[in-house]
């Protein structure tokens, strides 16, 4: 089963109107590989602005959402609100949400289930810390995080899994293509054994963690790497080269 390459840019808490206009100008000029799905994760206050500046072919994602539609949850954003202003995706469970904001596997699963029910597509992030990797826990950790998602996801069509080893995020220390491929292949095997062979074959698994124009091609050549979730480099012109890594 062929899986469309999917590259997300996660701008995190960066940018202002002028900088976002510049990034959107670059993405509009492209050229972007038509065989790659492109999504940008934009800070919430600028989602509508970015949506208005980007070509329709580029998806726009919130970077977080809450697990219910509305109510007394000061500071939270619902999937319905994201949809209402033109976002079609949301990033859930990023390690910065897990670590800085103490989000649990269960909360992330609840958010994912609700976002999918509301019609958003979800980039669901998983990944181990350096300590977990060094103590041989990588598979146990990513399987546990994926299991929490699998407990609530009935249809994986609108889910992209982003494997982001925490030790590689923003550190300049990218996983080697072999290290990333090894975890992606293990995840696909986990899907075969715990969800279904169809989902294992069709679900897209992105790699994230210090992806750059310089390292993206070799990572993209790995059989189980179906795209990237890019942080720092998504704010720079080189993001176009990362989108085009398979060309
Ligand atoms: O969501 C993106 C990841 O956190 C990767 O960030 O490319 O700056 O390492 P990075």
- Ligand 1 nearest atom to the CA of residue 12, by list position: 1
- Distance from C-alpha of 28 to C-alpha of 85, rounded to nearest angstrom: 20
Per-residue pLDDT at 223: 97
How far does the centroid of ligand 1 lie from the alpha carbon of residue 11, in Å? 9
> What mean pLDDT is predicted for residues 120-129?
98
Q: Which residue CA neighbors atom 10 of ligand 1 most closely? A: 231
pLDDT of residue 23: 98
Give the atom of ligand 1 at the shortest distance from the alpha carbon of 212.
Answer: 7
pLDDT of residue 172: 86
Question: Could you tell me the end-to-end alpha-carbon distance of the chain, in angstroms, rounded to an integer?
Answer: 20
Look at residue 1 in the predicted model and tell me its pLDDT.
57
- Whether ligand 1 lies within 6 angstroms of the CB of 208 is answered as yes
Residue with tokens 């091609």: 217
pLDDT score of 213: 97
Mean pLDDT, range 109-121, rounded to an integer: 98
pLDDT at 122: 98
User: Are 204 and 227 in contact, with CB atoms under 8 Å apart?
Assistant: yes
What is the 212 CA–ligand 1 centroid distance (Å)? Answer: 10
For the chain, what percent of residues have pLDDT higher than 70?
A: 100
Q: What is the mean pLDDT of the chain?
A: 97
Residues 237 and 22: their CA atoms lie apart, in Å, by 10
pLDDT of residue 173: 87
| pLDDT of the residue at 62 | 98
Q: What is the pLDDT of residues 3-60, one digit of tens each?
A: 999 999 999 999 999 999 999 999 999 999 999 999 999 999 999 999 999 999 999 9
The tens digit of pLDDT for each residue in 148-170 reads 999 999 999 999 999 999 999 88
Burial 165-179 (b: 16+ CB within 10 A, else e): bbbbbeeeebbebeb
Region of 119 (left: φ > 0; alpha: ψ -120 to 50; beta: rest) is: left
Distance separating alpha carbons of residues 99 and 15, to the nearest angstrom: 22
pLDDT of residue 103: 98
Which atom of ligand 1 is nearest the CA belonging to 172? 9
pTM of the model: 0.97
Q: Return the pLDDT at 177.
A: 96
Other CB atoms within a 10 A radius of the CB of residue 133 amount to 19
């Amino acid at each position: 089963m062929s899986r469309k390459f999917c590259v997300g840019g996660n701008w995190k808490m960066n940018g202002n109107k002028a900088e976002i206009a510049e990034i959107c100008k670059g993405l509009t000029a492209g050229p972007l590989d038509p065989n790659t799905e492109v999504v940008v994760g934009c800070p919430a206050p600028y989602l509508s602005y970015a949506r208005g500046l980007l070509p329709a072919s580029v998806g726009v994602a919130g970077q977080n959402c809450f697990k219910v539609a509305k109510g007394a949850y000061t500071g939270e954003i619902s999937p319905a609100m994201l949809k209402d202003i033109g976002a079609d995706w949301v990033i859930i469970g990023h390690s910065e949400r897990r670590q800085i904001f103490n989000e649990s596997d269960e909360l992330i699963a609840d958010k994912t289930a609700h976002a999918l029910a509301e019609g958003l597509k979800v980039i669901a992030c998983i990944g181990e810390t350096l300590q977990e990797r060094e103590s041989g826990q990588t598979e146990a950790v990513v399987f546990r995080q994926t299991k929490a998602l699998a407990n609530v996801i009935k249809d994986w069509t609108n889910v992209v899994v982003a494997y982001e080893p925490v030790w590689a995020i923003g550190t300049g220390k990218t996983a080697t293509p072999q290290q990333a491929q090894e975890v992606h292949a293990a995840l696909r095997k986990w899907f075969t054994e715990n969800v279904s062979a169809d989902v294992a074959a069709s679900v897209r698994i992105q790699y994230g963690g210090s992806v750059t124009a310089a390292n993206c091609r070799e990572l993209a050549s790995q059989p189980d790497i179906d795209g990237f979730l890019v942080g720092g480099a998504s704010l720079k012109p080189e993001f176009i080269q990362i989108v085009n890594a398979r060309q």
